[in-house]
Amino acid sequence: MAYVNEWRLGQAKACVKRDPSPYNRPMEEGSTPLRTSKHGVLVELRVRPGSSRGGMAGMREGRLLVAVHAPPEGGRANREALKTLAEVLGVPTSALELVRGASSRDKTVLLRGMDLAEVEVRLRKYLTIK
């Protein structure tokens, strides 16, 4: 952990311990953006709309980060995020369903037709699990 001095209104605050970066840190064992449900596998996503480069961008706050070119207007970013996830998993987009987060950056997607182990294998390079 780094010690950082913060200055506000010309007065020094006490040194505060800060975690270096919460992003792209290996996840704790048992913590994964994938869960099983009775209908398939639930995948937790964080979508970054309006990105200059699209595609899977690793992990953010316990979710898979998907960067998309489309702006967050009229569901365009959602459609592009589902298309990107379908390409990475090698499934048709009809196998994916957005179940939570239609107007949020944090989304939950239901994947039908695959089991949890197979999804983990296909997403292994994006999941940074110890």
Work out the pLDDT band at 128, boundaries 50, 70, 90.
Answer: low
Domains detected in the chain: 23-122 (3.30.1200.10)
Beta-carbon count within 10 A of 1 CB: 8
**Rg for the chain, CA atoms, rounded:** 18
Least confidently predicted of 14-28, 79-93, 94-108: 14-28
- Per DSSP, helices labelled H in the chain are 76-89, 116-122
Please, are residues 58 and 127 in contact by the beta-carbon 8 Å criterion? no
Buried b (16+ CB within 10 A) or exposed e, 98-117: beebeeebebbbbbeebebe
Instruction: Kindly report, residue by residue over 56-72, the tens digit of the pLDDT.
Output: 888 888 899 999 999 99
